[in-house]
Structure 1
Amino acid sequence: MFEDRRMELLAAWHNVRDPDDPEHMAVFVRRDPSGGLCEVEVRTPAGPKPQEPMSEANAFALAAQIRRAARGTWQRIPAPATA
């Protein structure tokens, strides 16, 4: 995992539910700038669930699969601009 490294946020979504709702979810795709591998993190009220490192294409595919499988209307969270 990449816990000790600075990750670049590529994209994030949330399922437009109250944060206290047990079905509230947020999905983040981050890239390790030094190695190019990415991670997908799913956050729920129960806590974060990071996935194993993978390619950027696989990370976006996994994030899409998670969003399709979960209930709710998904909305993109704007990622901060990078210099």
Structure 2
Amino acid sequence: MGLGMQEMIVIFLIVLLLFGAKRIPELARGIGKGMGEFSKAKQEFEREIRVGEVEGRKSWETKPQATAKTSVETPSAEAVASES
């Protein structure tokens, strides 16, 4: 459902009536700058996500593997009694 030519003409005429012919280039310039800033912010956000993913993978790959747990032997009651 895109905008047809008739709808675009009606929108243009409404904008022309609301803002006047002198302000339309100014409005278009502002809209263009806004779209450019949005595009830059979107690209920066996507770049940060990609960098974070790469760093996350690198840190995950370089983590040492967990070693087997070493068991700690507790002395038996007889061994403790014989030492005293």
Instruction: Decide which structure has greater strand share.
Output: 1
Instruction: Decide which structure has greater helix share.
Output: 2
TM norm structure 1: 0.27
The structure with the largest alpha-carbon Rg is 2
TM norm structure 2: 0.26
Question: Taking CA–CA contacts closer than 8 Å with sequence separation of 6 or more, which of the two structures ends up with the larger relative contact order?
Answer: 1
